[in-house]
Amino acid sequence: MITCTKCGEQNSDETRFCSKCNNKLQSSRKAAPTEEARHHPLEHFQHEGVPTDSWRALMRMVEAWAYVLVLLGVGAGCAYFTTWWPMYPTVGILGLLLWFRRV
């Protein structure tokens, strides 16, 4: 089955055009980029809602600060209760998160 990108109608694999709105159907097997996407790849990405580089950099900074705040919060809690074992899993989880974010 091919789902129409325009109206969402389900069409059979043999159909080239949507039976409901006559929109040209793209087979999922042939994942070739459209003519427009090939000529303007970055523009196409921005239309899809992918954040720009500056926005991504800002989000990364906010994320880094969130990690620092979590670490400080757990550290303060540990100092208050004078137990240090919660620091180990927290540092481990944050380390893993940072590692995953860079992949």
Tokens 């240090």 belong to 84
Q: How many whole angstroms separate alpha carbon 26 and alpha carbon 15?
A: 10
Shortest separation between residue 72's beta carbon and Zn ion, angstroms: 53
Residues that bind Zn ion (CB under 5 A): 4, 6-7, 9, 18, 20-21, 23
Query: Which of 9, 33, 37, 35 lies closest to 21, judged by CA?
Result: 9
Q: Which is nearer to Zn ion, 28 or 83 (CB)?
A: 28
> Toward Zn ion, which CB reaches closer, 20 or 60?
20
Instruction: Name beta bridge partners: 11.
Output: 2
Q: Rounded to the nearest whole angstrom, what is the least distance from the CB of residue 14 to Zn ion in the complex? A: 16
d(CA 38, CA 40): 6
Taking residue 18's Cβ as centre, other Cβ atoms within 10 Å add up to: 20
Q: State the minimum distance, in angstroms, from the CB of residue 20 to Zn ion.
A: 5
Nearer to Zn ion, 23 or 67 (CB): 23
